[in-house]
Every structure is written in C-alpha cells, then in structure tokens.
Amino acid sequence: MQTYQLVPHPSHPPVAVARVEARMISASNNWLRVRWRVDGVSKLIVPPFAGKGRADNLWQSTCFELFMQPEGASGYSEFNLSPSERWAAYDFTGVREGMTERPFEREPTCTMRTGMAMAIFDAELPRAQMPDPPCSLGFAAVLEEQGGVKSYWALAHGNPDQPDFHDPACFTAEFARTRAA
C-alpha cells in the first residue's frame, strides 16, 4: 500500500524530527492497520503507558490521527491514537460541526517502538466500527519534543497561519473499495 509523506505546519516547525510518513498496512474484514514512521526522535516526548481506554485531548502531547470521509459525504470520522495506548473516536456532520463520540465495541490497539533515530507507531482499528470505503483519508500527527515544542504534521495544510487537521485540504489519501476475488 502507498506510503504518504506528511509535512509539518510552517508556523510550528519541529526541533529534531526530520520526517514523518504514514500508510495503511492492511485492511481485512476484521482490522484496519495503519503505521506512522517518525525520523529524528532524539527529542521526542512519548506519553507514558496509561493502558487501553478512551480519552479526550490526546493531541496535547504526541499522538497520531486518522481522518476518514466517505465518498460524497460532508461528515467524517476522526481517530486519535496515543502511544500511551489511550484512544478516541469521533464523528462529525461537517467541518468541526456536530461532533459525537463514535461507538467502539472493541478497542483499537496502539503500539510504539522507538530506536535511536526513528520510531514506528502502529494502530489496529476494528474494521466493523470504521467507515466503509471508498473514503478520503487524512493522516496526521502531533509530535511533542523537549521544551514543550509541538509540531503538527499532515498530508497537506489548508491554512498557512494555523494547523487544522479537520480542513478538507488535509484529506488527500484514498481508501478504495477492494474487489472481490
């Protein structure tokens, strides 16, 4: 599956993070698997383990986000995934409008592996609780580094003054319907 390069918002540059890429690893009947790779992690702050569970405001520290907008719809879904293993899922009726918690019967799995120069964050989301393809996708990441510096990474940024992952300009990837064999 295609790998997408994320770009930092120009008004919030990173300190040491040099590159972020994201991709969908696989989409089966049971799971949607996504991965983010972060290069230049020497100053990255990783939230401590908190155990699985729904939580708000994950974007206040390092977290990874996936947006899915079904083809032809004005509404979309947002999934926030933290290295702490906390997560959140929301539905919107329009851009930042009509927000409700998206029901999840089975929790996503979040796994972060860090090395000297890079980190890999994998998430597995229960397929039955995700929007059906075809969808536009927005991969994003908030990366907190030492000194309280936060950079905001997305496929594209529609507003040059302030990061906004909800901007439709950020939804440039695609999740196509798979053909039956």
Q: What is the pLDDT of residues 10-30, one digit of tens each?
A: 999 999 999 999 999 999 999
Question: Is 180 a domain residue?
Answer: no
Q: What whole-number distance in Å separates Cα of residue 88 and Cα of residue 81?
A: 7
CATH assignment at residue 126: 2.60.40.1190
Query: Are the CB atoms for 44 and 143 separated by under 8 Å?
Result: yes
Counting the structural domains of the chain, the total is 1
Question: Is 84 a domain residue?
Answer: yes
Under the banding of pLDDT at 50, 70 and 90, the label for residue 105 is confident
What does R_g of the chain's alpha carbons equal in angstroms? 15
What is the pLDDT, as a whole number, of residue 178? 60
Question: Is 38 a domain residue?
Answer: yes
Average pLDDT, the chain: 95
| Global model pTM greater than 0.85 | yes
Q: What is the pLDDT of residues 110-142, one digit of tens each?
A: 999 999 999 999 999 999 999 999 999 999 999
Question: Is 139 a domain residue?
Answer: yes
126: three-class secondary structure by DSSP: strand
Question: Is 181 a domain residue?
Answer: no
Helix and strand numbers (H, E) in the chain are 0, 13
Residue-wise burial string across 57-75, b where 16 or more C-beta atoms lie within 10 A, e elsewhere: ebbebbbbbbbbbbeeeee
Contacts of 70 (CB under 8 A, 6+ apart): 76, 131, 132, 133, 134, 135
Amino acid of residue 117 = A
Domain around 159: 3-175
